[in-house]
Amino acid sequence: MVSSQISDVRAFNRFYTRIVGALDAHLLASPYSLGEARVIYEVATRQTVSAAELSRQLGLDPGYLSRMLVKLADAGVLANLPHPTDRRQNVITLTEQGRVAFDNLEADAARSVTALLEHLDATERATLMVSMLRIRRLLGDDLPSSPVIIRSPRPGDIGHIVGRQAVIYAEEFGWDGSYEGLAAEIAGKFAQKHDPFREDCFVAERDGEVIGSVFLVDAGGGVAQLRLLYVEPFARGLGVGKTLVAQCVARARAADYQKIKLWTQSILVPARRIYAEAGFELVRSEPTRAFGQDLVSEFWELEL
């Protein structure tokens, strides 16, 4: 890791610490510390929880947590009840007073976050939410699996798709700007004028973020052409590329095409594997100089 990356992470941490401090400032006006508020939240959002589970979940020393639980119980916020299936331990629950305390803390937190976000417009808020989810996933947060949605393109998607492909292929294979020019030409032509009955674009999205796409265009003579398939590196292995290609094949059949063709490069091994699994056959390959590299172009076809 280069020193600039370390500095960037540390700068982000300092900034985010200030933000978190602002969000937790409402606790100073409540009778609970930050740690106590976290305990109240965890107990409120679980049906049953033991002290051992709270210790693991919050990363707190068992002795420190025990003293905190005693204090909250003495304050009438928490209660210990017999475990429904294990008599050797108790479960911790909120009392009526504890439920009121939780509701007040949640309302204060919501007002604090609202104040933080209210100066952002809808697009900026959506971007922030996607970025936060992505940071959590990249750094190993145990988030539940989110579904991948396949949808039609929205305003702004086409430009984003072209830009991301140009960056990915430059980083992974050293392709120059001529690829971006070609992708922009193909996608731009689709955006400006396409036949909605015989041509389509499929966009894969997860948690509001575009993670892949593909185009199906009319090549003439009853032949469709699959173009510009890509999947974000962090989303590979989820079956996104396979799903996008399957969508193209189904769409081509519905539009009564007799064949689908595509042009790719031999170094795009994951894409070639997807095409082969979908039933495409390699019909021709030839050396070529493209995108600033010596490549082997491949031409694949699928009879429908």
Per-residue pLDDT at 86: 64
Pairing of strands 209-220, 223-231: antiparallel
**Closest C-alpha among 249, 251, 263, 250 to residue 302:** 249
- 35 lies in which domain range? 3-119
Is residue 125 domain-resident?
no
pLDDT of 53-97, one tens digit each?
Answer: 888 888 888 888 888 888 888 889 888 877 666 666 678 888 999
What letter does residue 208 receive in the DSSP assignment? T
The verdict on 109 and 156 lying in the same domain is no
Confidence band for 44, pLDDT divided at 50, 70 and 90:
confident
26 pLDDT band, cuts 50/70/90, is low
Q: Give 273's pLDDT tier (boundaries 50, 70, 90).
A: very high
| In a domain? residue 241 | yes
Model pLDDT, residue 141: 77
Distance CA 199, CA 227 (A): 11
Same domain assignment for residues 241 and 154: yes
pLDDT of residue 122: 83
Q: 218 in a domain, yes or no?
A: yes
Structure confidence at residue 123 (pLDDT): 79
Is 90 exceeded by the pLDDT of residue 188?
yes
Residues 165, 294 within the same domain:
yes
CA nearest 204: which of 141, 249, 154, 138?
A: 154
Which pLDDT score is estimated for 268? 95
The answer to the question of residue 200 being in a domain is yes
Kindly state whether residues 101 and 160 are assigned to the same domain.
Answer: no
Q: In the predicted model, what is the mean pLDDT of residues 193-220?
A: 94
How many C-beta atoms lie closer than 10 Å to residue 249's C-beta? Answer: 19
Task: Pinpoint the alpha helices (H) of the chain.
Answer: 3-23, 34-44, 51-58, 62-74, 96-117, 122-138, 157-173, 177-192, 240-254, 269-277
pLDDT at 137: 79
User: Within this chain, do residues 158 and 297 fall inside the same structural domain, yes or no?
Assistant: yes
Is 124 inside a domain boundary? no
Domain total in the chain: 2
Same domain (yes/no): 109, 38: yes
Q: 215-228 pLDDT, tens per residue? A: 999 999 999 999 99
Instruction: Give the mean model confidence (pLDDT) for residues 145-174.
Output: 93
CB atoms < 10 A from the CB of 109, how many? 16
Burial class (CB in 10 A: 0-12, 13-18, 19+), 150: middle
Q: How does DSSP classify residue 233?
A: G
pLDDT at 53: 84
Q: pTM score > 0.85 for this model?
A: no
**Average pLDDT score, the chain:** 88
Nearest Cα residue to 247 out of 219, 209, 274, 285: 274
74 with 181, same domain: the answer is no
Condensed to tens digits (0 to 9), the pLDDT of residues 89-132 reads 678 888 999 899 888 888 887 888 888 888 888 878 888 888 88
Which of the listed residues 104, 119, 134 is the one where a domain comes to its end?
Answer: 119
Query: Any idea what the CATH number is for the domain that residue 253 is in?
Result: 3.40.630.30
Mean pLDDT of 120-149: 82
pLDDT interval class at 149 (50, 70, 90): very high
Q: How far apart are the first and last CA of the chain?
A: 49
Indicate if 159 and 294 belong to the same structural domain: yes
The answer to whether residue 187 sits within a structural domain is yes
**Which among 276, 268, 214, 269 has a CA at the least distance from the CA of 245?**
214
Considering the domain boundaries, does residue 139 fall inside one?
no
Tell whether 112 and 231 lie within a shared domain: no
Give the residue-averaged pLDDT of 281-299. Answer: 96
Cβ pair 260, 245 in contact under 8 A: no
Print burial letters for 49-84: b (CB count within 10 Å at least 16), e (below 16).
bbbeebbeeeebeeeebeebbeebeeeebbbeeeee
Q: CB of 246 within 8 A of CB of 280?
A: no
**Other beta carbons within 10 Å of 158:** 21
- Specify whether 290 is located in the same domain as 173: yes
Q: Identify the three-state secondary structure at position 53.
A: helix
Query: Looking at residue 39, which CATH number applies to its domain?
Result: 1.10.10.10
Q: Is there a single domain that holds both residue 154 and residue 253?
A: yes
